[in-house]
Amino acid sequence: MAYEQEKQVAMQATLAAAKLCQRVRQDIPPAMEKSDKSPVTVADYGAQSLVCKALGEAFPNDPIVGEEDATALRSPEYEASRQKVVSYVREIEANASETEILNWIDRGNGQVAPRFWTLDPIDGTKGFLRQDQYAIALALIEDGEVKVGVMVCPALSLTSDDPGTLFVAVRGEGSQMMAITEGELKPIRVCGVEDVSKLRVVESVEASHGNPEQQQKLLDAVGITTPSLHMDSQAKYGVVAAGDAALYLRLPSADRPDYRENIWDHAAGAIVVEEAGGRVSDMYGQPLDFSRDVKLRETRGVIVSNGIIHDRVLEALKR
């Protein structure tokens, strides 16, 4: 099977990161503020450290484009947070030094290349802080295409009482999911359409990450009457891939028309949905191009669907 080593390493690494995130969340972490005013926690740093360590060992030549870097954490001001990151990472990597742990985080400062990984160590940090949904999202991009994607959603329960679901996809080989404590992967498929009005839709929790008014107008135009589920992070892609929702809408925010999506916020989710039989595009039907830049410069809005209703949504958007 193609990319088998990449798939296994990515799964092990993101599961270790998920374990760290769950540990941090038991202790109710405070958030630090980044220069763009968005939150980051010791779990974001710890998760990035663990995933980058594993990838660096298995694939030393692959750059990693990660969301976080250790600059703030190295400053005297964040001494206490740094110590916490070190202590949580050492619960999993017992012999790691502080220098190693910070250097692993900074492995995520790689550049887009013909083959590279993109990592969101915690997607949905606000959800993580609220005790809601979040995801550890990792994808391999090669020759202009996402080839492997893994998302661990430690607070998402789809199969059993076990909270925690892992999604994984390899290009051309379908998508799978498993309950994280069970360890057995099962194929997943998007849902069909019997009655459009009853289709389930997922949207962001944070109103500013989309355009709730426009999204509601669009749903009215398509004829969907079921109230949307609001969920943080790429878990939204997971529920579409697993057939629990038919549509994920993310129209450009009216307050921030200049905002461009980051590749790590979509790459893993996109391949998981596509390989489950769904479709991912921008609001004009254009595919998302993860191979050029850290930002999806040409992408306006993101539409994720079971495939069947995609054109109907794009048509309604045109109108």
Ligand X SMILES: Nc1ncnc2c1ncn2[C@@H]1O[C@H](COP(=O)(O)OS(=O)(=O)O)[C@@H](OP(=O)(O)O)[C@H]1O
Active site residues: 44, 125
The only residue of 53, 126, 147, 310 in contact with ligand X, by rule CB under 6 A: 126
Asked if 209 touches ligand X (CB under 6 A), the answer is: yes
**Which position among 6, 93, 106, 123 is part of the footprint of Mg ion (CB under 5 A)?**
123
Residue (of 150, 126, 129) closest to 139 by Cα position: 150
Instruction: Note whether 232 binds ligand X by CB under 6 A.
Output: yes
Are 133 and 245 contacting, i.e. CB atoms less than 8 angstroms apart?
no
Degrees, nearest 5: CA angle 235-239-244: 155
Across the beta sheet with 186-188, the strand order is 64-66, 115-123, 135-142, 145-153, 165-170, 175-179, 186-188
CA torsion sign, 220 to 224 to 227 to 233?
negative
Residue closer to Mg ion (CB basis): 120 or 282: 120
Q: How far is the CB of 186 from ligand X (least distance, A)?
A: 25
Minimum CB separation of residue 38 from Mg ion in Å reads 5
84: Cβ contacts below 8 Å, ≥ 6 apart: 42
215 sits near ligand X (criterion: CB under 6 A):
no
CA atoms within 13 A on the CB side of 55: 31
Q: Could you say which of ligand X, Mg ion, none residue 165 binds, taking C-beta under 5 to 8 angstroms by partner kind?
A: none
Task: State which amino acid sits at residue 157.
Answer: S
The secondary structure of residue 188, as a DSSP letter, is E
Query: CB-wise, 170 or 205, nearer to ligand X?
Result: 205
Q: Which of residues 128-157 bind ligand X (CB under 6 A)?
A: none
261 counts as binding Mg ion under rule CB under 5 A: no
> Residue 84 interacts with ligand X (CB under 6 A)?
no
Among 41, 64, 65, 67, binds Mg ion (CB under 5 A): 67
Which of these, 304, 317, 316, lies nearest to 242 by C-alpha position?
A: 304
* Maximum CA extent, the chain: 59
Site residue total, ligand X (CB under 6 A): 21
- Number of helices and strands in the chain (H, E): 10, 14
Question: Which residue, among 151, 144, 137, has the nearest Cα to 180 in the 3D structure?
Answer: 151
Which residue from 6, 93, 123, 142 is in contact with ligand X, where contact means CB under 6 A?
Answer: 123
- Judged by CB under 5 A, the chain residues 265 through 304 that form the site for Mg ion are 265
Rounded Cα distance between 21 and 47, Å, is 7
Task: By CB under 5 A, tell whether 120 contacts Mg ion.
Answer: yes
Q: Among 186, 198, 256, 295, which residue interacts with ligand X (rule: CB under 6 A)?
A: 256
Nearest Cα residue to 259 out of 204, 311, 297: 297
Residue 195 near residue 167 (C-beta atoms within 8 A): no
Nearest distance in Å: CB 108, ligand X? 13
Residue 120 interacts with ligand X (CB under 6 A)?
yes
Which of 29, 63, 66, 124 contacts ligand X by CB under 6 A?
A: 124
Stretch that binds ligand X, among 176-184, 219-227, 254-262, 276-284 (CB under 6 A): 254-262
x/- binding map, residues 176-205, to ligand X, per CB under 6 A?
Answer: ----------------------------xx
Least distance CB 202 / ligand X (angstroms): 9
Give the Cβ contact number of residue 285 at 10 Å.
15
* Residues in contact with ligand X by the rule CB under 6 A: 38, 67, 120, 122-127, 204-206, 208-209, 232-233, 253, 256, 259, 262, 265
